Amino acid sequence: MNRILYLLLFTLFIHNPVIKADDGYRLWLRYDLISDPQVLGSYQRSVSGWIIEGTSPSSIVTANEMKNGLNGLLGKNIERLSAIKRNGIIVAGTPENSAIISSLKLNKQLTGIGSEGYIIITTKYRNEKIIVIAANKDAGVLYGTFHLLRLMETHRDISKLEIVSSPKVKIRILNHWDNLNRSVERGYAGLSLWDWNSLPDSLDPRYTDYARANASIGINATVLTNVNANALVLTRDYLVKVAALANVFRPYGIRVYLTARFSAPIEIGKLKTADPLDPDVIAWWKAKADEIYSLIPDFGGFLVKANSEGQPGPQSYNRTHADGANMIADAVAPHNGIVMWRAFVYDNNVPDDRAKQAYNEFVPLDGKFRKNVIIQVKNGPVDFQPREPFHPLFGAMTQTPLMMEFQVTQEYLGASVHLVFLAPLFEECLKSDTWAKGEGSIVAKVIDGSLENQQLTAMAGVTNIGNMRNWNGHPFAQANWYAFGRLAWDPYLNSSDIADEWIRMTFTNDNETVARISRMMLDSREITVNYMTPLGLHHQMYAGHHYGPGPWVNRGRADQTSVYFNRADSIGLGFNRTSTGSNSVNQYFPHVRDIFENIETCPENLMLWFHHVPWDYKMASGRTLWNELCLRYEKGVDSVKWLSDQWELSKSKIDTERFEAVKALLVKQERDAKIWRDACILYFQTFSKRPVPEGVEKADHDLDYYKAYRYTDIPGISSRF
């Protein structure tokens, strides 16, 4: 009887596994017991113990991860061993720190994978079948361990492993736009993680969890402070705090960088100038660099925003960006530091087309930068819009390394309220063909250095991390952190593979649910483009908060207004950037230029970026531009409803806490999508003077209502705007 009852209970349990509440803190590193009995059984047969012989701080954190991961996933204590005495042992280490690894003679496999790469193989050791994670250095062992755990979290077959992986990009770096008072510029997930007041004495355990999460996806660097920089962080009191963070991050392979305020020699150095050619200024930066390295020997270097949006820079002294970058680069060079110099510049003298400015300023400087300078370029020529063409600088500088700057925080994509998976946006840019050296010269090849054989390579993500319990605000915003890390490791990955992994680790391995959520995620970016800025429109956000619509915004600096970018008039809509307009198309290589120049060949999704299109222009659908535009907005709104329906179908497979959180956010997203649709259609209609086509829901209010509409619930910044 008991036995039958037991069996009954067991079957019930297996078929209805309890879905535990989840506050999202553990991100994709949940390590919950594997719920699929078959998968669990096969893993329990393949894994019976593990060995990590190394004793460095990095080996210790790797061992902790191995232990917590295996014990959690397999639901029992998996023994740590010191010798191979049976089948199913995992051995992780380097030839230096592990006698077993060294005896396996893996030199051939290990050459060419560098200091961060790893191999994971199934092999035999004195007749015992074992899994080996081997690397040249500790960091590789840690990454390999995370990889193996990921395979298990995603229920992959681990019986015959033959994995070789090494990062294609050298510096994979988060940019925190965090201020020293803990506010975060464009941050929507609470305060900055860095509690400067309590550092260096008190170390929040979150610092460790932050490092772990980053290491799990291969991120190996972080810039702690805002590019709109405060020189105070370079004073000794703060540097000691920075050093404390660097100490926490080091075992996880993460190096710390800071933003350098160009006028720091004046502000904290008491000099009269910050002129990069002034000997006192040069000496000040050199001494500052020496001081930093005495506290943080593996300090990465500086990120600099100069002569842009009011930030000081070399041009204030009639010097060039190269003069400024080189001066700081020389100060850090003896310590192997680098300077990441941003190309997001726009001058106070408003140019004819803001999209052209970075290219015009930087291309003439090609070849003039020191070897340890890399130019950090945003993915598109304007500013992190839902859709932009790739930045024309990619491929255009042959002697200077260029790095990517993606924005992970959703400044222009609905903050932490809208469900928008950004991997498709990142992927679209990385796979864009610049034609710099003929067909196939895709942006990813600029970023991984292969196009021009650059050794210094990097990818930055302006992060969406804050001190909210779930780190990012929206449960799905975690996927953007995850995707950034994975693409920085390998810019050739596909969004769908990334989504699949992330969903399995974060929510469930139920195939049907994974497929459904994956569809939602993969479509989500296009959905947002439709209800915000379809057909190549851009920068139509309300001034300041950039959250809701503001196509009418016409006050302030001209090239920050919506009317500057939409150019709506009685004839049509869109920014003429062809040869008859601003001619920014000419910054692209001829093949690409010709495609964008001709309205017949310009991709429709970028049409209003490059062309001023008449309202009655016939689109691919056969509809006029006006009708097509209205229907795109409607499609955006309808698709948000679709997202909600899809989410509802996943209810039984998701823990209540996160299910309800996402559900509530989708309600807001639908509200916002409607506001976008109605506000934009009503505003553009004042120019088109055409009726709204059938199939588009009628706006609830008139244009004045939307112009006067004030959000009270934008995370993080509602008090400011």
> Minimal distance in Å, beta carbon 622 to ligand GCW?
37
Q: Is the peptide bond before 200 cis (omega within 30 degrees of 0)?
A: yes
Q: Which is nearer to ligand GCW, 70 or 382 (CB)?
A: 382
Taking the C-alpha atoms of residue 215 and residue 221, their distance in angstroms, rounded to an integer, is 9
- The structure tokens listed for 684 are 């553009």
| Buried residues in 258-269 as b, exposed as e (16+ CB within 10 A) | bbbbbbbbbbbb
Angle at 708 between CA 707 and CA 711, to 5 degrees: 105
Catalytic residue, from 65, 153, 383, 510: name it.
Answer: 383
> Minimal distance in Å, beta carbon 675 to ligand GCW?
21
> Minimal distance in Å, beta carbon 413 to ligand GCW?
12
With CB under 6 A as the contact rule, the residue among 186, 319, 356, 635 that binds ligand GCW is 186
Taking the C-alpha atoms of residue 480 and residue 473, their distance in angstroms, rounded to an integer, is 12
Q: Which is nearer to ligand GCW, 52 or 377 (CB)?
A: 377
Rg, C-alpha atoms of the chain: 27
SS3 per-residue string spanning 188-210 = CCCCCCCCCCCCCCCCCHHHHHH
Give yes or no: 309 in active site: yes
Which residues in the 591-650 window bind ligand GCW by CB under 6 A? none
Q: Counting contacts by CB under 6 A, is residue 177 touching ligand GCW?
A: yes
Q: Which is nearer to ligand GCW, 214 or 308 (CB)?
A: 308
Determine how β-strand 89-93 pairs with β-strand 49-52.
parallel
The crossing angle, in degrees rounded to 10, of helices 279-295 and 236-249 is 40
The three-class DSSP label of residue 93 is strand
Q: Which is nearer to ligand GCW, 383 or 526 (CB)?
A: 383
With CB under 6 A as the contact rule, the residue among 64, 68, 228, 494 that binds ligand GCW is 228
Closest CA to 443 of 491, 498, 376, 384: 491
Q: Counting contacts by CB under 6 A, is residue 341 touching ligand GCW?
A: no
Give yes or no: 383 in active site: yes
Q: Which is nearer to ligand GCW, 179 or 524 (CB)?
A: 179
> Minimal distance in Å, beta carbon 411 to ligand GCW?
6
How does DSSP classify residue 177?
A: -
Q: Is the peptide bond before 551 cis (omega within 30 degrees of 0)?
A: no
Query: Which string of DSSP letters, residue by residue, matches 544-556?
Result: TT-SSB-TT---S
Q: Which is nearer to ligand GCW, 513 or 560 (CB)?
A: 560
Q: Which is nearer to ligand GCW, 227 or 665 (CB)?
A: 227
Q: Which is nearer to ligand GCW, 378 or 611 (CB)?
A: 378
> Minimal distance in Å, beta carbon 417 to ligand GCW?
17
> Minimal distance in Å, beta carbon 560 to ligand GCW?
9
> Minimal distance in Å, beta carbon 419 to ligand GCW?
22
| Buried residues in 662-699 as b, exposed as e (16+ CB within 10 A) | beebbeebbebbbbbbbbbbbbbbebbeeebeeebeeb
Draw the binding track, 267-306, toward ligand GCW (x: CB under 6 A; -: no contact).
--------------------------------------x-
Draw the binding track, 489-528, toward ligand GCW (x: CB under 6 A; -: no contact).
----------------------------------------
With CB under 6 A as the contact rule, the residue among 43, 344, 564, 647 that binds ligand GCW is 344
> Minimal distance in Å, beta carbon 416 to ligand GCW?
16
> Minimal distance in Å, beta carbon 380 to ligand GCW?
11
With CB under 6 A as the contact rule, the residue among 22, 361, 383, 597 that binds ligand GCW is 383
111: left (phi over 0), alpha (psi -120 to 50) or beta: beta
Q: Counting contacts by CB under 6 A, is residue 230 touching ligand GCW?
A: no
Q: Which residues pair with 402 in a beta bridge?
A: 375
Q: Counting contacts by CB under 6 A, is residue 365 touching ligand GCW?
A: no
With CB under 6 A as the contact rule, the residue among 39, 78, 227, 679 that binds ligand GCW is 227
> Minimal distance in Å, beta carbon 540 to ligand GCW?
14
How does DSSP classify residue 587?
A: G
Closest residue to ligand GCW in the complex (CB): 383
Draw the binding track, 409-448, toward ligand GCW (x: CB under 6 A; -: no contact).
--x-------------------------------------
- The structure tokens listed for 231 are 């020189």
Taking the C-alpha atoms of residue 16 and residue 444, their distance in angstroms, rounded to an integer, is 44
Residue type present at position 230:
N
Draw the binding track, 234-263, toward ligand GCW (x: CB under 6 A; -: no contact).
------------------------------
Catalytic residue, from 275, 323, 411, 638: name it.
Answer: 411
> Minimal distance in Å, beta carbon 384 to ligand GCW?
6
SS3 per-residue string spanning 334-393 = HHCCEEEEECCCCCCCCCCCHHHHHHHHHHHHCCCCCCCEEEEEECCCCCCCCCCCCCCC
Taking the C-alpha atoms of residue 680 and residue 693, their distance in angstroms, rounded to an integer, is 14
With CB under 6 A as the contact rule, the residue among 185, 433, 604, 697 that binds ligand GCW is 185
Taking the C-alpha atoms of residue 532 and residue 675, their distance in angstroms, rounded to an integer, is 10
Number of residues this chain uses to bind ligand GCW (CB under 6 A): 11
Catalytic residue, from 290, 309, 569, 702: name it.
Answer: 309
Q: Counting contacts by CB under 6 A, is residue 87 touching ligand GCW?
A: no
Q: Is residue 193 within 8 Å of 469, Cβ to Cβ? A: no
Q: Which residues pair with 708 in a beta bridge?
A: none
- The structure tokens listed for 393 are 């600088």
Q: Which is nearer to ligand GCW, 309 or 497 (CB)?
A: 309
Q: Counting contacts by CB under 6 A, is residue 183 touching ligand GCW?
A: no
Q: Which residues are catalytic?
A: 309, 383, 411
Question: Binding residues for ligand GCW, per CB under 6 A?
Answer: 177, 185-186, 227-228, 305, 309, 344, 383-384, 411
